[in-house]
């Protein structure tokens, strides 16, 4: 049965007895027709593409417009991460914490073993040995994903480092994270997928994490974070547990490098909830002359303390799995150049000449499109209710090496020393354009209160309400969020503060009372990054306030179109707004973490409240807030 393709590596060739045994066990359970080991070669990538094109699952794109690229259209029910079917199956419910779904691991394994039984009949089981992080880096981790989806294999080949070089590092007894995945739609005898995107109904979908045994079991979805198990499942949920145990950080953060006109560089990591433009910031083109921004990563940072006491970060990924709608030459030219070739597009619209199109790509749709559901679609600008041609969560999968702004050191195995950590979110009011934490614990406090205004896309809560997403990690922390806060606090106790990154909170999303953006954002954010750079260098113009360290009124150069009054509003201290914020944190946010909320954070909230009450109400912010 093993290896239908003689030319690829065979199971017998694997040197790792434990890995071979696990593959045998999974094959005995799932009963695939064949087993193929992903060797990471271009030839194998091409063969997988050819097979998916032949079956009708993949659409080859126009080689003149998007060379080496393909498009996929998922089942309409399988378009995003499924948080309500995502489980942290820790030994106890308490260990998973109040913000994760929990099922007893023994019970969950029993249920899922039942689902996996025979689920790969008639399909191929692919073995994907992958490295999160540069192969051989001492910050990197190895995973092996077993999957029945060739779509997953090709995406993993872009998003991670795959193949024989990983098996070489793994050796005969190396450690790896077991990642088991099936699309979860068993074929009947004689049935084939016939170009359909297979997946299971929602009540059979399970995205399960077993933190004690460091295993991931995923069933029923072929999409993104549910299926490409190196990303959210391994690099965040499982790695966050490893990081707590081993004294490092696995974070939902971009990493960028900023260089001033004198050639001095600083490295910045930044965490934002979804829909705040993390990928855009990671690839920002500065508007201020002489300054340069380069990209290390756009989604995940693994950070460890070096022998010199500084915090070093690597990007564990090798590609970008970015939201396509809204990505244009205006909003993010570097992303557009990254996806020009050798990329995978999922749920984008297709043009008549086999290029991709999406809402917010920066130009009108051509006369006729095929929408992501496969239907003919003609743009009707008069109709505000028209369903979009691309799914709002449509994605591009592009190699990071193709990004024009990628930093030369992006694959340095020792990582880059982080100077600043930014938190942020969509806050139309109250939160200023930028402020800095007074010290590490205050910075942890800022991370713990991260929140973002609900955008129209999220229908479960009223638009205009703020959803808290501490450290942008709420959906991605593999253990109790209160213990996660404590882990951050503890790092401050055990390390030299003078060598730790400075912590900031930014907000690109302030609005006027009549709903207009106060700040132009995008490349103009380089002005804020410049102030952050200067704050790290000790040369910034700053003032101490009730909420932390803020820029003086003239510390940040004003972009064109931003008046002096606008700037004052962006940088004012909204005493009453912050007092409401304190009340909301005290009544609605912090109680969620029960007695696991570190005392340092409760104290920090009291301090902020007292500071604010001491501000003269009539003197604060005049008329602007
Ligand atoms: O990514 C964004 N960033 C960060 C860029 C480096 N977006 C897009 C968010 C959705 C993913 C932004 N949207 C940003 C921003 O800084 N700011 C805004 C709000 C905004 C939108 C459009 C305009 C200005 C601000 N344009 C005009 O007013 C012309
Ligand atoms: Mn993310």
Q: Quick one: pLDDT band at residue 617, thresholds 50, 70, 90?
A: confident
Cβ(517) to ligand 1 under 6 A?
A: yes
Q: Which ligand is nearest to the CA of 333?
A: 1
**Nearest CA owner, ligand 1 atom 28:** 520
- How many Å lie between the centroid of ligand 1 and the Cα of residue 522? 6
Cβ(143) to ligand 1 under 6 A?
A: no
Give, for ligand 1, the residue of 392, 521, 524, 560 to mutate: max count of ligand atoms closer than 8 Å to Cβ.
521
Cβ(508) to ligand 1 under 6 A?
A: yes
Q: According to the model, what pLDDT value does residue 274 have? A: 94
CB atoms within 10 A of CB 178: 19
Cβ(390) to ligand 1 under 6 A?
A: no
Beta partners for residue 358, in sequence order: none
Q: According to the model, what pLDDT value does residue 2 have? A: 43
For the segment 355-378, the average pLDDT, to the nearest whole number, is: 97
- The string of pLDDT tens digits covering residues 75-130 is 999 999 999 999 999 999 999 999 999 999 999 999 999 999 999 999 999 999 99
- How many Å lie between the centroid of ligand 2 and the Cα of residue 252? 6
pLDDT(3) > 90: no
Radius of gyration of the CA atoms of the chain, in A: 24
- How many Å lie between the centroid of ligand 1 and the Cα of residue 280? 9
Cβ(280) to ligand 1 under 6 A?
A: yes
**Nearest CA owner, ligand 1 atom 14:** 521
- How many Å lie between the centroid of ligand 2 and the Cα of residue 232? 8
Q: Measure Cα distances from 468 to 205, 249, 437, 452 in Å.
A: 26, 21, 19, 6
For the segment 356-376, the average pLDDT, to the nearest whole number, is: 97
User: Domain 319-402 classified CATH 3.40.640.10?
Assistant: no
- The string of pLDDT tens digits covering residues 310-332 is 999 999 999 999 999 999 999 99
Q: Which ligand is nearest to the CA of 279?
A: 1
pTM of the full structure = 0.97
Distance CA 204, CA 217 (A): 13
> CB within 8 A of 456, min separation 6: which ones?
463
Cβ(284) to ligand 1 under 6 A?
A: yes
Q: According to the model, what pLDDT value does residue 1 have? A: 38
> Using an 8 Å Cβ cutoff, are 257 and 521 in contact?
no
CB atoms within 10 A of CB 307: 5
Which is the closest atom of ligand 1 to the Cα of 323? 11
What is the greatest pairwise CA distance in the chain?
Answer: 80
- How many Å lie between the centroid of ligand 1 and the Cα of residue 284? 12
pLDDT(383) > 60: yes
Exposure string over 440-473, b if 16+ CB within 10 A, otherwise e: bbbbbbbbbbbbbbbeeeeeeeeeeebbbbbbbb
> CB within 8 A of 282, min separation 6: which ones?
254, 255, 256, 295, 296, 297, 298
Cβ(520) to ligand 1 under 6 A?
A: yes
> CB within 8 A of 154, min separation 6: which ones?
45, 48, 49, 52, 70, 344
**Nearest CA owner, ligand 1 atom 17:** 521
> Using an 8 Å Cβ cutoff, are 4 and 31 in contact?
no
- How many Å lie between the centroid of ligand 2 and the Cα of residue 250? 12
The DSSP-derived string for 181-203 is EE---PPPTT---TT------GG
Average pLDDT, the chain: 96
Lowest mean pLDDT among 188-202, 450-464, 483-497: 450-464
Beta partners for residue 468, in sequence order: 451
Q: According to the model, what pLDDT value does residue 194 have? A: 86
- How many Å lie between the centroid of ligand 2 and the Cα of residue 244? 20
71: enclosing H helix or E strand: strand 70-72
Distance CA 581, CA 593 (A): 18
- The string of pLDDT tens digits covering residues 518-563 is 999 999 999 999 999 999 999 999 999 999 999 999 999 999 999 9
Which is the closest atom of ligand 1 to the Cα of 523? 6
Which is the closest atom of ligand 1 to the Cα of 284? 6
Cβ(281) to ligand 1 under 6 A?
A: yes
Please state the CATH superfamily assignment of the domain spanning residues 11-54+83-246 in this structure: Phosphoenolpyruvate Carboxykinase, domain 1 (3.40.449.10)
**Nearest CA owner, ligand 1 atom 29:** 520
For the segment 50-79, the average pLDDT, to the nearest whole number, is: 98
> Using an 8 Å Cβ cutoff, are 74 and 197 in contact?
yes
**Nearest CA owner, ligand 1 atom 7:** 277
Cβ(277) to ligand 1 under 6 A?
A: yes
> In the chain, where does the domain assigned CATH 2.170.8.10 lie?
319-402
**Nearest CA owner, ligand 1 atom 24:** 520
> Using an 8 Å Cβ cutoff, are 102 and 223 in contact?
no
> CB within 8 A of 245, min separation 6: which ones?
none
DSSP state of 68: T
- How many Å lie between the centroid of ligand 2 and the Cα of residue 151? 20
Beta partners for residue 210, in sequence order: 215
Q: Quick one: pLDDT band at residue 136, thresholds 50, 70, 90?
A: confident
> In the chain, where does the domain assigned CATH 3.40.449.10 lie?
11-54+83-246
- How many Å lie between the centroid of ligand 1 and the Cα of residue 534? 24
**Nearest CA owner, ligand 1 atom 11:** 277
Percentage of the chain surpassing pLDDT 90? 93
3-class DSSP state of 127? strand
The DSSP-derived string for 273-287 is -TTS-HHHHHT----
Cβ(285) to ligand 1 under 6 A?
A: no
pLDDT(205) > 60: yes
> Using an 8 Å Cβ cutoff, are 333 and 285 in contact?
yes
Q: According to the model, what pLDDT value does residue 276 have? A: 97
> In the chain, where does the domain assigned CATH 3.90.228.20 lie?
251-317+410-541+586-598
Which is the closest atom of ligand 1 to the Cα of 517? 25
- Residues forming the active site: 276
Which is the closest atom of ligand 1 to the Cα of 283? 6
What protein residues have CB closer than 5 angstroms to ion ligand 2? 299
Tokens found for residue 99: 């913000």
- The string of pLDDT tens digits covering residues 10-56 is 999 999 999 999 999 999 999 999 999 999 999 999 999 999 999 99
User: What CATH class is the domain 251-317+410-541+586-598?
Assistant: alpha beta
């Amino acid at each position: 049965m093993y290896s239908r393709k003689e030319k690829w590596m065979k199971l017998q060739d694997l040197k790792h007895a434990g890995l071979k045994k696990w593959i045998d066990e999974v094959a005995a359970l799932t009963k695939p027709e064949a087993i193929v080991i992903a060797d990471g070669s271009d030839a194998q990538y091409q063969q997988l593409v050819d097979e998916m094109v032949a079956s009708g699952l993949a659409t080859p794109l126009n080689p003149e417009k998007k060379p080496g690229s393909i498009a996929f259209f998922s089942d309409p029910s399988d378009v995003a991460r499924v948080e309500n079917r995502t489980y942290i199956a820790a030994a106890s419910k308490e260990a998973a914490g109040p913000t994760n779904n929990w099922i007893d691991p023994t019970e969950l394994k029993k249920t899922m073993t039942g689902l996996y039984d025979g689920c790969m009949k008639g399909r191929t089981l692919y073995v994907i040995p992958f490295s999160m992080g540069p192969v051989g880096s001492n910050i990197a981790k190895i995973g092996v994903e077993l999957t029945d989806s060739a779509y997953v294999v090709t995406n993993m080949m872009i998003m991670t480092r795959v193949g024989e070089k990983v098996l070489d590092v793994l050796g005969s007894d190396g450690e790896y994270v077991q990642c088991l995945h099936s699309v979860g739609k068993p074929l009947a005898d004689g049935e084939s997928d016939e170009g359909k995107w297979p997946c299971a109904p929602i009540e059979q979908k399970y995205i399960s994490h077993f933190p004690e045994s460091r295993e991931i079991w995923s069933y029923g979805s072929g999409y993104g974070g549910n299926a490409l198990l190196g990303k959210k499942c391994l690099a965040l949920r499982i790695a966050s547990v490893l990081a707590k145990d081993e004294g490092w950080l696995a974070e939902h953060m971009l990493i960028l490098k900023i260089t001033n006109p004198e050639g001095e560089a600083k490295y910045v990591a930044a965490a934002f909830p979804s829909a705040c433009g993390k990928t855009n910031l990671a690839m920002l083109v500065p508007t201020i002359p002489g300054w340069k921004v380069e990209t290390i990563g756009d989604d995940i940072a693994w950070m460890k303390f070096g022998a010199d006491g500084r915090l070093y970060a690597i990007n564990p990924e090798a590609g970008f799995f970015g939201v396509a709608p809204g990505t244009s030459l205006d909003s993010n030219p570097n992303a557009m150049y990254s996806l020009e070739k050798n990329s995978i597009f999922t749920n984008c619209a297709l043009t008549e000449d086999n290029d991709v199109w999406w809402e917010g790509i920066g130009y009108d749709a051509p006369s006729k499109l095929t929408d992501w559901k496969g239907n003919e679609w003609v743009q009707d600008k008069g109709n505000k209710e028209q369903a979009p041609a691309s799914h709002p969560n449509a994605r591009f999968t592009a190699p990071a090496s193709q990004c024009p702004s990628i930093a030369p050191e992006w694959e340095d195995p020792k990582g880059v020393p982080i100077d600043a950590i930014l938190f942020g979110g969509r806050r139309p009011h109250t939160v200023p354009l930028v402020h800095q934490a007074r010290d590490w614990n205050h910075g942890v406090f800022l991370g713990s209160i991260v929140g973002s205004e609900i955008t129209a896309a999220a229908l479960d809560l009223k638009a205009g309400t703020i959803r808290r997403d501490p450290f942008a990690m709420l959906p991605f922390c593999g253990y109790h969020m209160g213990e996660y806060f404590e882990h951050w606090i503890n790092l401050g106790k055990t390390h030299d503060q003078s060598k730790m990154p400075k912590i900031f909170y930014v907000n690109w999303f302030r609005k006027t009372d009549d709903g207009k953006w106060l700040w132009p954002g995008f490349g103009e954010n380089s002005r804020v990054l410049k102030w952050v750079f200067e704050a790290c260098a000790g040369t910034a113009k700053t003032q101490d306030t009730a909420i932390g360290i803020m820029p003086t009124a003239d510390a940040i150069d004003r972009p064109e179109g931003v008046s002096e009054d606008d700037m004052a509003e962006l940088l004012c201290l909204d005493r009453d707004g912050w007092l409401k914020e304190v009340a909301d944190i005290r009544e609605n946010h912090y109680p969620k973490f029960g007695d696991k909320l570190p005392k340092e954070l409760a104290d920090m909230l009291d301090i902020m409240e007292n500071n604010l009450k001491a501000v003269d109400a009539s003197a604060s912010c005049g008329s602007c807030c």
